[in-house]
Amino acid sequence: MEAIKFEKVHFSYEADRETKDVFAEDTRFSLDGVDFSVEEGEFVAVLGHNGSGKSTLARLIDGLLSPTSGKITVLGLDAGEEKSLFDIRKQVGIVFQNPDNQTVATIVEDDIAFGPENIGVPRAEIGERITFALNAVGMSAYRHATTTRLSGGQKQRVAIAGVLALKPKIMILDEATAMLDPRGRKEVIDVVRRLNKEENITVLLITHFPEEALLADRAIVMHKGAIVMEGKPADVLGREEELQKCALTLPKAMKISRALGRFGLDVADSLTESTLAENIEKALRTADSSHIEIPQTRGACTRLKSVSSDGRILCKDLRYVYNSNSPFATFALNGVTVEIPAGEFFGILGHTGSGKSTFVQHLNALIKLPTAEKKYKVKKGKALPQTVLNVGKFDLTDKKTDFKALRLSVGMVFQYPEYQLFAETVFEDVAFGLKNFFEEMTEEETEKAVREAIEAVGLVYEEVKDKSPFDLSGGQKRRVAIAGVIVTKPKILVLDEPAAGLDPLGKEEILSLLHSLHESWCETVIIVSHDMDEIAENCTRVAVFSEGKIVAVGSPKCVFSSAEVINTAGLDVPFTQKTARILKEKGIAFDCDLTLADFVQKTLAFAKTAGAGTYRKQGGGEHA
Amino acid sequence: MRDVSFGQYYPSDSFVHKCDPRTKLLFLIAYIVMIFLAKNFYALGVCALVFVIVAVASKVPFKSLLRSVKAVLFLLAFTAFLNLFFHSGKTVLWQWKFVVITQEAVYFTVFLAVRLFLLVLGSAILTLTTTPVALTDGIESLLSPLKWLKFPVHELALIMSIALRFIPILTEETGRIMNAQKARGADFETGSLFKRVKAIVPILIPLIIGAFRRADELGDAMDARCYSGSKVRTKYKKLTFTWRDLIALLLIVSLIVGIVLLRVYTPWLI
């Protein structure tokens, strides 16, 4: 039976709710004639960039919105009918994007009980349902925990449990993984897959990560409110040109295999690191090395540039204690020593609570260094820690440092910076920093600086300057927020998860924007990230934080190849590193920077020099 | 930031933790009434004794207790301080121009400070030993007679528990927004009053917009989980009175009776 069926569904946020009159001029449809159906027990992935209409789809199924025209049938019930909504909602669970905004109660079990309570399940059974739901998501140990103290992945699993307790037949995940780090994402996806297999729950996974869509039975691609592609994920995700039109990207394995193909090494389309490695192995055996060209690319390390010392950061033995005067004192930073020379595109890795945020907040004195005696309560006779923290030309251990001037030269972009927009127009918001730092600035100068900043983030000045920042799309808002920081041209730019929550294309755009800033006037860029691929692809050097200390500093290549570092910090490794590892086991060993381009180049170089078909001998020799 | 927020629960399985929230609420009300009835230090001493007994039975470390009232201590000191100058009396201890401090004022100030301090500590015990959900359940249950007057008791309780849940989240968000604006050169600490009030705008607006966004999403999430008011609703956690509550209630009653008797027979003491 069909679990969900859409027949010629149109939806517009602008349509008049009463008359449903959509024939007014310029009505923009969020859904424009959508026809599709999902079978019971099926696992369907819905892909699309931000604003493609995929979230509207989820809200329509659950009756949170009702269609402007067309018919939606959910498990035989009409979702457009007010009276069937309760019955539909009993059987359809939605997990939303932001884990914090869908939890009702403070304690895990109370939150999970909320759904069953609403539909009048008897008390004893609610207890059973909570046990079942927590088991299903692997969170039984957290039954009595406080929801705010869980990690993002755990919170989302609790949200799934809250939905499961209603015993739904259909589960919709509306970008439920977008705000999570890769580890949390994997936790959630694993749970969903198991529920689909074992409990036979129909799953509609709305996402913009092509890798997640691979796990589904079927993939649907949405663009501008319509379904533009449909089919087996492996097939859909291989149609590069069509995907590009929808502002989507290929899975990484596919990107690499296609790129290798373009330069003469015929590698079959691959979807995961293991199939990619296998296919490369096969291709190497049969390839004709004379056809292989080696492209000119730049590895990550060539991104360094030589500049003055204004962008240099020197930090020795930095410590920071939370609740310093109580028995709960914890070292957020426990002797951090690092030097970041000017000109780096520096990456900071580490888990939540590893001290990385505390560290970056020191860089522009949002956390000020206290006088040493008071802070560390050093007993007599014991030497004080010799903390050094120099950022550019500022010495932060000196109380007389001009902190305003420091903040002018160190720009800081926080996570989800668009949530800090406040002004009536984009112009005013971007100019906010300027007005704070330079009270005497003339209007022409202000306008010039704002124009430069807005253009630097890739927006058209004349188009956006008078708009309200709240009317922009998600990606545009983020750009405006970044413009508001770079408008004062800081020599050092620190960004906390600059690409979090964006779709793949948005991510690429933000990062290439940062590279172009780095190439022009910004001497040092520091990004904090959870995403190993992002770090490997963009950074010249990385520092890994773990328990208030830096456990490793170096190029992505050397940091990610140290198993010890990766294990102590509990990190994942980038895709390229995973593939390289498997290849090495097969006897195909080469040294590469971990960017996709460099991986492709080195693979081709290997194919050329090792001589197609003969690599086994050499590789084997190395092994022995 | 998260740890200084109001209503922090200190997990434990003490006698007080296991009491029914309704008992604790009633106890707190009785305790507050006692404090306000107290006219001298002897009576306050009795209140303090009651507080110490409950505090010890709650197994909440004294440090956590103090930490949870830290935020209001300033307000308390400030109120007491004002009283020092403005309470009128006869025996002048110290005078400078029109500023007068009298013996009565000193006595009253100390009395008031102790009284307020006991009040705040007592309330802290309640929030430290009761989860917000239990607390709102307790309030809902105590107010349930009002349902007959068509008063939306359930809705009120739900609003309260959601508000409590979002306090730490919004506190954290405030901190983040403040830092972000500070990094863009905003200055909240210096300048005239007008300037400082103006400086709050870049914090307040994103915070309010954010709160609306969250409310919107929460509303959708609640709808999707079949929330439809209180008609068919069941409750997972039932509040039940146990022997502990009986003991606690007996204690309250005997205290109240004791105070009334003392007032009648020895009015000079209480």
Task: Please provide the DSSP assignment of A270-323 as one string.
Answer: -SSHHHHHHHHHHHHHH--GGG--------GGGG-----GGG-EEEEEEEEEET
Best of B212, B226, B230, B237 to mutate (most A CBs within 10 Å, chain A) = B226
Which run of H or of E encompasses B101? strand B99-102
Chain A contact set for B224 (CB, 8 A): 62, 64, 89, 92-94, 163
- For A522-558, what is each residue's pLDDT tens digit? 889 999 988 888 888 889 899 999 888 898 898 888 8
- If pLDDT is split at 50, 70 and 90, which confidence band does A611 have? low
**Is the CB of B177 inside 8 Å of chain A's CB atoms?**
yes
Amino acid identity of B204?
A: L
Does the residue B181 lie in any domain? no
**Is the CB of B220 inside 8 Å of chain A's CB atoms?**
yes
CB contact under 8 A, B180 and A148: no
The mean of the pLDDT values for chain A is 84
HSE toward the beta carbon, residue A293, CA cutoff 13 A: 7
Q: What does the CA dihedral B69, B71, B76, B79 come to, rounded to 10 degrees?
A: -160
Does the residue B221 lie in any domain? no
CB contact under 8 A, B162 and A323: no
What six digits make up the tokens of B224? 């999707």
- Please name the residue of chain B whose CA is at the shortest distance from the CA of residue A98: B217
Angstrom distance (rounded) from CA B116 to CA B106? 15
CB contact under 8 A, A96 and B217: yes
CB contact under 8 A, B63 and A126: no
- Give the β-pairing of A226-231 and A218-223: antiparallel
CB contact under 8 A, A126 and B236: yes
Q: By residue range, what is the domain housing residue B56?
A: 1-130+240-270
Does the residue B200 lie in any domain? no
Does the residue B116 lie in any domain? yes
Does the residue B175 lie in any domain? no
**Is the CB of B159 inside 8 Å of chain A's CB atoms?**
no
Interface ipTM > 0.85: no
Contact status, residue A220 vs residue A34, Cβ threshold 8 Å: no
pLDDT of residue A26: 54
- For A93-145, what is each residue's pLDDT tens digit? 999 999 889 988 888 998 999 999 999 899 999 999 999 999 988 899 999 88
Count up the domains in chain B and report the number. 1
CB contact under 8 A, B225 and A484: no
CB contact under 8 A, B236 and A130: yes
Does the residue B89 lie in any domain? yes
- If pLDDT is split at 50, 70 and 90, which confidence band does B6 have? very low
- If pLDDT is split at 50, 70 and 90, which confidence band does A615 have? low
Does the residue B5 lie in any domain? yes
Contact status, residue A257 vs residue A284, Cβ threshold 8 Å: no
Three-class SS state of A82? helix
Does the residue B184 lie in any domain? no
Sequential DSSP letters for A1-21: -EEEEEEEEEE-TTS-TTT--
**Chain A to chain B, count of Cβ pairs less than 8 Å apart?**
167
Cα-based distances in Å from A578 to A69, A275, A589: 48, 12, 13
- Give the β-pairing of A218-223 and A202-207: unpaired
Regarding pTM above 0.90, the answer is: no
Contact status, residue B203 vs residue B181, Cβ threshold 8 Å: yes
Best of B177, B235, B236, B239 to mutate (most A CBs within 10 Å, chain A) = B236
